[in-house]
Amino acid sequence: MFKPPNEVYLNCMRLGFHISIAGGLSRVVPRAIKLGCETIQFFSRNPRAWRNSLVHGDEIERFKEALAQTDIFPVFLHTPYLLNLASHERYLYARSISYLGDELEQAARMGASFVIVHSGNKLVSEEKKALQRVAQAVNKAFVKANNSVQLLLENTAGQGNEIGYKISHFQEIIAQVEDRNRIGICLDTAHAFTAGYDLTDAQGLDRMIDEFDALLGLPKLKALHLNDSKAPFGSKKDRHWHIGKGDIGRSGFLKIINHPKLAHLPGIMETPRKTDADDRRNMKVMRSLIK
């Protein structure tokens, strides 16, 4: 069941979760169905270790066959957390580019439309040089993986030496990317909120959307990570929390998911979970907010 990556999905937001691949990729679709997902995101490898992909050949075919029997789309592959496309350290930088290329190739094999990667950490570098390195890394990864999978840069909270906490950062990066048709943005609500974009206020939300449109063009916004924040506004701390239980709150998410310029986007929740019950509660709250 092929779904073009730029399709306007529905008049209301398609919702889903980051799904565990513990036990194998073949378990992703059944888990997603059990949680009522309309879209999904997952890792193809250990997110906190430099290891090869956990999924291969036959398992990928079984995953695609199972997915084709559902109406779940689009599919997002998230890169490991260790990648740093802004690093000034040669070995880490080269390894990050190599892994990103691998993820783009793996996404194509799996039938995933998008790969999501964190913007990176400038460490001791100047911000401008770090942003240039990200663009150069993307260009090299696109050469390695010459396919139609789109890469989405995820905004950050601005914690420590992170880059990508301002929309203007993405403007600088994308301006230096050679194949701009393959790059877009995944906006994380918790990160944006603690980076200084007030999503609890209708005017604040509109200001952020207007800034995005002015600097990048709204078509570059491909997906949302729907996470409430356990950290306060402008704190630059990355603390995901349950929908409606954090500082963005139910009223904030009511505005976000029903906004006419956002409502067509797929929304992935990366909320804390101990059991399926946590995910079900978050899904129930989110769906109750859709008008």
Cα separation of 25 and 32, whole Å? 12
79: DSSP letter: P
Token pair listed for 1 = 């069941």
> How far, CA to CA in Å, does 184 sit from each of 55, 97, 150, 202, 203?
26, 17, 7, 24, 24
Q: Give residue-wise pLDDT tens across range 82-107.
A: 999 999 999 999 999 999 999 999 99
Instruction: Tell me phi and psi for residue 270, to 5 degrees.
Output: -120, 40
Nearest to 144 by CA among 81, 77, 94, 80: 94
Instruction: Determine how many CB atoms are found less than 10 A away from the CB of residue 234.
Output: 14
Is residue 3 predicted with pLDDT exceeding 60?
A: no
Is residue 5 predicted with pLDDT exceeding 70?
A: no
Average confidence (pLDDT) over 120-129: 94
HSE (CB half, 13 Å, CA atoms) of 95?
15
How confident is the prediction for the chain on average, in pLDDT?
A: 94
pLDDT of residue 58: 87
Contact indicator for 223, 262 with CB cutoff of 8 Å: no
Is residue 12 predicted with pLDDT exceeding 60?
A: yes
- CATH 3.20.20.150 for domain 14-289: yes
Can you spell out the DSSP letters for 139-159? HHHHHHS-SSPEEEEEP----
Token pair listed for 93 = 């930088």
pLDDT of residue 86: 97
pLDDT of residue 11: 61
pLDDT > 90 fraction of the chain, expressed in percent and rounded: 87
| Segment (H or E) for 22 | none
The set of catalytic residues is 48, 78, 81, 118, 154, 188, 191, 225, 238, 240, 270
Instruction: Tell me phi and psi for residue 77, to 5 degrees.
Output: -105, 130
Cα separation of 150 and 74, whole Å? 12
What is the domain partition of the chain in residue ranges? 14-289
Cα separation of 165 and 55, whole Å? 32
80: DSSP letter: P
Is residue 45 predicted with pLDDT exceeding 90?
A: no
pLDDT of residue 52: 75
Determine the Cα angle at 137 with ends 133 and 138, to 5°.
Answer: 120
Three-state secondary structure call for residue 41: strand
Cα separation of 23 and 32, whole Å? 14
Cα separation of 164 and 154, whole Å? 7
Contact indicator for 165, 236 with CB cutoff of 8 Å: yes
